[in-house]
Structure 1
Amino acid sequence: MATAPVEITGGGYLVRVDVSDLPAPLPVFTDELGDGVVSGSRVVVEASLSASDRPGLLGQVGNGRVHPVAGPSGMDAVSRLVRESLGRAVETSVGEASQGLIPGMVLGDTSGQTAADTQLYIDTGLSHLTAVSGANVAIVTTAAVLVCRLLTLGPRVQVGAAAVALAGFVGLVGTEPSVLRASVTGLVGLLAVINSTRMEPIHGLCLALIGLLLWDPDLAVAYGFALSVAATAGIIALFPLLYRPLARTGWPDILVRAIAVAVAADLVTMPIIALMAGRVSMVSVLANVLVAPAVAPVTVLGLIAAGLSLLPGGLATLPLMIIEPCTWWIHTVATWCAGLPNATVPASPAWVLVGYGWVLVGVISGHPLKTAGVVCALFLWAARTDPLPPEIPLESLRVHHVPTVEEVGTAPPGTQVIVVEEGDGRASIRPTVTREGIPVLFPQRDGPVTLHVDGTQHAADGRF
């Protein structure tokens, strides 16, 4: 059985295949992907095995071909049907900016997003919105609890409704490991809100962590799992410490809570992101606070639209039209934040801990406004004084021109820069390189882009 293919920057796909007698799914890299390789499908793999440089139970990767032999069954088939029907409804009901966001925020389906949009959400710290995360689960279950409270139903009915809502959500989005992880961490977050007087939420998180690792020990070396657990633990442990001093500022309570949650999650996940990518987003808190009011309506109404899309008559159009302004707002915020100076910066985990530790101390000690002022001043100073490294003249390099992006892989050995002549597609907000690290320039699409001695690329209009 295969998971959904993941397209790799520079070409090719990664498919994780469950193989009997292996302790973990086998990662298979392939340039040839047969039609019908989707989550839950049964496949035949023709691949050579090699040692993996990633720690884990398996220690091997495959390189070859993946061919489907049977489609998904059971809940995987239901999930695929829902994704396809919602995708068709979205294409006919909303604008381009929302077509990739709605399936991603509702079902974790990012197949409709362009590579530029995907990177846009990564750079602004909003990529968790377009993946099934604990936040999705918490929103769905909390909505069920709130409806029961409005109907004056008892605690047991509220918990039962939350469990039914969770089961329905998992049935719609599928049963991939990432969904099951999100379900567990989301339930822990819900317990932190509605049941903290009876059980310490951190105890619930620890029990969930132990259970998940017993179910799949390979999660111990998965960055996604580490980020989910860290974000949940950060919100549980740091939210009360941040909320009290922020509440004394007199700001609206909904804004104070949004800032406290965003800072708590960002503080504990940013060192992991720095270790993983070597770069961190400096605008993630701002972006998450600005989009916070729009997230819950998209999740709840989007799930309603997903269910209605299975019925005839175009019933999904109304909820999709209602949430389109919300997704337009999220996309607009991401685009604006990504265009700010120093939206992302190189960073090591140690420097992140020092910087964010100083921010945490400043807020907890009762000086949130002064701390925010100093952070903004440093941000503006760095944007004004950060000079570009020396430029490398393009004519001094071995340049290979190709008419389309599909022909990037035809560059001969020794090529130092690849220039794509076509101008189709949206302008990128991040430099493009091949798997081998060769810069790829799109002058017709991105405008003038310069190369510099530190290996970076800089667009003339400042987008990257």
Structure 2
Amino acid sequence: MAQRPIVTFAVCWGIGYAVAVIAPLPWINLWLAMAAGMLYCAAMIMRPKGTVWLRSLLIVAAAAGVYGDHDARNRSLVELQTDEVSSVHFQGRIVTPVSVDGDRVSFQAEAESVTIPEHAVLENGGKGEQMQFSIRLLAREEQETARRWERGDRIELDGTLRRPAEARNFGGFDYRNYLRLQHIHWQMTAKGTAGLAVTPPESGEWGGWLAMRSIDRFRDRLAAQVDQLFPPDQSGFMKGMLIGLTDEIEPQQFERFSRLGLTHIIAISGLNVAIFLACLIWLLRRFGLTRETYLLTALALMPLYIAVTGASPSIVRAGLMAMIGLYAAYRNRLKDGLHIALIAGVGMLVWNPYYLLDVSFQLSFLVTLGLILGVPQMNKLLPVKHVKLRDALSITLVAQLISFPLSIYYFNQFSLMSFAANFALVPAFSAWVMPGGTAAMLLGFVWGTGAGWLGWLIAKTNELLFYVVEQASKPDAVQTIWPTPSPVWILAYYGLLCAVLALLQPFAAKDEEVAPEPMLYGVKTNKLPFLNRKTMNRYVLLPASLLGFVGLLWYGYDPERGAAEGRVQFLDVGQGDSILIQTLPGGHTILVDGGGTVSFRKPGDAWKERRDPYEVGRKMLVPLLKKRGVQQIDELILTHQDADHFGGLQAVLEHIPVRRFLFNGTLKPLPAVEKLFQTALEKGTELVEVEAGDTLQVDAGTALHFLYPLPEGAREGVRVEQDQNPSSVVFLMEMAGTRWLFTGDIGQAEERKLLNRWSAVTPGLTQGEALAPAAREAVSSGTATQVSRVYKPVDVLKVAHHGSKSSTAEEWLNAWQPKHAVISAGENNIYGHPNRQVLERLTSHGISVQRTDRDGEVQMTVRDGKIYTRTKLRP
């Protein structure tokens, strides 16, 4: 601690924050921080024995108290008994840039007063409460009106106040917590602009928003320059790279960069700061300014650059480091990069403790510290003599190793092409596209023609680079999916990585210093080869560390290997169905349906379309599957082709390998359905038609018996069918001694047909040659063996058609006698699902009911023949 006090303090401060996050106890507060601070001062004066460890512990305690106090003060000034109240009157000021995207306007505003008609507790009239606003536009003219709103404008409106949505699936995105970390606890929603008033600030008004209002306008002018210089398919990318405006990046383009681990190119970071400072200092020196003057000028302009580029945690980190470095250069003082980084990090954490939980902050600082500490060591290990090539390899390799755990923790994917892509493409973007684009953007203010020429060169370069990114990101074979690792796994990864690098260093050193011969009980250990330090490192510790590191990676990739339980997870995808089944004992993965986003757009509503519209498969289902380590789907079962069942499967097929695609043998004449089946064929997925009488033996303990749709003669090809509900796939699953019935969206008429069909079947009667030859090995006809199985009670019934009154008749429940029922329906859906009569019918039969609209995701686990249930929202 005495030798590296800044390092010790920063490490202890970070540990203290982590303790407060993991154990948010009420006594971890400001009093603890003050007490620890006073004891620290006393320890500095008295210096008792063990003072280094004592002072370190006190720093941890003080930091924990600071975080605990900050978190405790993060509370709303508005207290309601319900989660939603309408007719709330709000007066306040817009405090963030206004985003207009299709028919949605979003921004944050700080209240000057809040009036709530129902019973509520308002501290200080709600003044100072910051809220997230979402306004749905009703006419195209309103879109132009909203585009004129700015930060600092006063706003007054009547709307609906509601709590932000919380995560409804295990491991899902928690919007409520996301806003809470921004000190926002409520959302205000409204329809149209007719009932609200937005007015510019009066002359003479001022506040922190005033400077930011001017910066927003300057940023918009820069964005306009980028739009003029680059084609539409590149302007969004260049805005993100140059000024931090990432909202307009094309989703497909961002996805390609993400698949290769190249999204850091788009984010404003230390490279942008370095280019800005290099250009600024070069320009100031050309004007003949002295060293002291241009250093101070660059120092003064850095906060402006941070603000203009969006002030994300990564740019704040880089900007602070640059400011500290500039000041140190001016005073000829501190020049240690490690110290500069840690001082900037602690400063940010003191300013906003929630930075610790920000992925941008975590990745930015870990990679920066890794490069500072690891690149010199990696240079010694690489057998490359060319200095620049060696440095480039070291930087890329260290950055990849350091960022890997956090990348899979937050994004659950890693491309085997990532190293090559970063090594080859990052220099092209950083050495030419970024500085050239910056120069063209600024040159456009004084010489439009020259800026156009330079922009054309950059655009042509981008075309080539984008083509390379597109081709490199296509192969599925190089994409790996990783389940979300635990914090313990991440710590073990970094520990073993450091151990391996440290043990490799002695073998890379060119000129080792001669150390005193080690002794053990008076015997020189160099006379005992099995105790020689270098021998131990080479033949014991290093191999053990390498094996441990490889074993850790193997476990992290497949932590569920050999798990003695099966899972059936009814995902909450809104108004739709999606069920993830992981079987026991084979560990097969089956996905039943994929939810979907139903659009009610009319002709002429193109202006309402958003740049990146919400789609269940891409935004919710695929991320959930990746978080749970679904690296391949063995069987994907589409019960029928309604949008709320098939919509999310397009994204699934595009991002996760699927072996077999089972469907009802029909085709709904919709472009989205045709695209879905075409994608399956292009990906090499086997298409299998199923009908009553087919059996799929998944593994030794799991079988699927298909009970519906009923066969209609010989299978002569796929038939077109508009109304899909009556043709839903119904199947009975037997897994490890339990029985599950999945019903799609069949109605009572289909329920009767199914019951009549199976009551009429006698042993020995089969369905004959039903399947296409390519699928017979996967799914076999087994009607005779199913007859005795059908008329046994089931453990779990997936209620048909989201609990609609058109399904789940009395005779249906009498036939199956389920113990548990699960209803998949959207919260506050417009259809009124589940129907009250259906719920009463289930209750009258003594059936326990779980509902995704009320309970969120429903997870059922099979262990030792018993079913254990947990739900996300109702423990």
Q: Fold match, TM over 0.5?
A: yes
Cα distance in 2 for partners of 1:232, 1:105 equals: 19
Name the counterpart of 2:470. 335
Name the counterpart of 2:271. 135
Contact 1:134 1:187 in 2 (8 A): no
| Pairing 1:416–2:416 present | no
Cα distance in 2 for partners of 1:23, 1:206 equals: 37
Cα distance in 2 for partners of 1:224, 1:282 equals: 23
Structure 1 residue 290 displacement after superposition: 1.5
Contact 2:440 2:452 in 1 (8 A): yes
Change (3 A) 1:126 1:400: closer
Change (3 A) 1:5 1:322: same
Structure 1 residue 328 displacement after superposition: 2.9
Change (3 A) 1:197 1:306: same
Structure 2 counterparts to residues 137-216 of structure 1, below 5 A:
137-145=273-281, 156=292, 159-160=295-296, 162-163=298-299, 166=302, 169-170=305-306, 172-173=308-309, 179-185=315-321, 198-216=334-352
Cα distance in 2 for partners of 1:88, 1:189 equals: 33
Contact 1:142 1:162 in 2 (8 A): no
Structure 1 residue 96 displacement after superposition: 4.5
Contact 1:170 1:179 in 2 (8 A): yes
Letter in 1 for 2:411: A
Cα distance in 2 for partners of 1:318, 1:389 equals: 57
Structure 1 residue 219 displacement after superposition: 1.9
Cα distance in 2 for partners of 1:363, 1:177 equals: 29
Determine what percentage of the aligned residue pairs are the same residue: 18
Deviations, residues 309-347 of structure 1 (Å, cap 9, x unaligned):
345745531331232244334423432332232334224
Structure 2 counterparts to residues 12-91 of structure 1, below 5 A:
15-17=107-109, 26=130, 28=132, 30=134, 32=136, 35-36=146-147, 40-42=151-153, 44=155, 46-50=159-163, 52-54=176-178, 56=181, 58=183, 60-62=185-187, 64-65=189-190, 69=198, 74-91=210-227
Q: Secondary structure at the match of 1:64?
A: strand
Higher relative contact order (CA 8 A, sep 6+): 1
Cα distance in 2 for partners of 1:185, 1:23 equals: 36
Letter in 2 for 1:418: G
Q: Secondary structure at the match of 1:138?
A: helix
Match of 2:683 among 420, 435, 460: 460
Contact 1:83 1:103 in 2 (8 A): no
Deviations, residues 22-55 of structure 1 (Å, cap 9, x unaligned):
9999562636277238773546484524373457
Deviations, residues 201-242 of structure 1 (Å, cap 9, x unaligned):
222222212222232233232222222222221221212112
| Pairing 1:320–2:466 present | no
Contact 1:78 1:172 in 2 (8 A): no
Name the counterpart of 1:123. 259
Change (3 A) 1:333 1:161: farther
Name the counterpart of 2:355. 219
Name the counterpart of 1:268. 402
Letter in 2 for 1:417: F
Letter in 2 for 1:272: L
Deviations, residues 256-276 of structure 1 (Å, cap 9, x unaligned):
323322332333333223222
Q: Secondary structure at the match of 1:267?
A: helix
Q: Secondary structure at the match of 2:247?
A: coil
Name the counterpart of 2:422. 288
RMSD: 5.2
Structure 1 residue 16 displacement after superposition: 4.6
Structure 1 residue 280 displacement after superposition: 3.7
Change (3 A) 1:338 1:356: farther
Contact 2:596 2:647 in 1 (8 A): yes
Q: Secondary structure at the match of 1:110?
A: coil
Larger radius of gyration: 2
Contact 1:124 1:281 in 2 (8 A): yes
Change (3 A) 1:12 1:218: farther
Cα distance in 1 for partners of 2:431, 2:598 equals: 46
Letter in 2 for 1:460: K
Contact 2:98 2:147 in 1 (8 A): no
Cα distance in 2 for partners of 1:86, 1:200 equals: 35
Q: Secondary structure at the match of 2:253?
A: helix
Deviations, residues 395-417 of structure 1 (Å, cap 9, x unaligned):
xx88887687969889x999322
Match of 1:110 among 234, 239, 246: 246
Match of 1:255 among 386, 389, 395: 389
Q: Which moved more, 1:223-232 or 1:260-269?
A: 260-269
Q: Secondary structure at the match of 2:136?
A: strand
Contact 1:399 1:415 in 2 (8 A): yes
Change (3 A) 1:258 1:400: closer
Letter in 1 for 2:403: T
Q: Secondary structure at the match of 2:245?
A: coil
Structure 1 residue 105 displacement after superposition: 0.8
Cα distance in 1 for partners of 2:684, 2:225 equals: 36
Cα distance in 1 for partners of 2:440, 2:316 equals: 22
Cα distance in 1 for partners of 2:241, 2:439 equals: 13
Cα distance in 2 for partners of 1:297, 1:154 equals: 29
Contact 2:108 2:130 in 1 (8 A): yes
Gaps of 5+ in 2: 1-93, 113-123, 138-142, 165-175, 202-208, 509-545, 558-586, 617-640, 657-670, 686-875
Structure 1 residue 126 displacement after superposition: 2.0
Contact 2:257 2:469 in 1 (8 A): yes
Contact 1:140 1:166 in 2 (8 A): no
Cα distance in 2 for partners of 1:105, 1:145 equals: 21
TM-score by length of 2: 0.40
Gaps of 5+ in 1: 383-387, 422-427, 432-440, 451-457
Structure 1 residue 59 displacement after superposition: 7.1
Cα distance in 2 for partners of 1:221, 1:276 equals: 12
Q: Which moved more, 1:345-354 or 1:210-219?
A: 345-354
Cα distance in 2 for partners of 1:84, 1:218 equals: 29
Change (3 A) 1:351 1:234: same
Change (3 A) 1:133 1:13: farther
Name the counterpart of 1:239. 375
Q: Which moved more, 1:225-234 or 1:32-41?
A: 32-41
Change (3 A) 1:215 1:361: closer
Cα distance in 2 for partners of 1:218, 1:205 equals: 18
Name the counterpart of 2:9. none
Change (3 A) 1:330 1:148: farther
Q: Which moved more, 1:97-106 or 1:330-339?
A: 330-339
Change (3 A) 1:336 1:354: farther
Of Structure 1 and Structure 2, the greater helix share is in 1
Contact 1:227 1:269 in 2 (8 A): yes
Change (3 A) 1:143 1:153: same
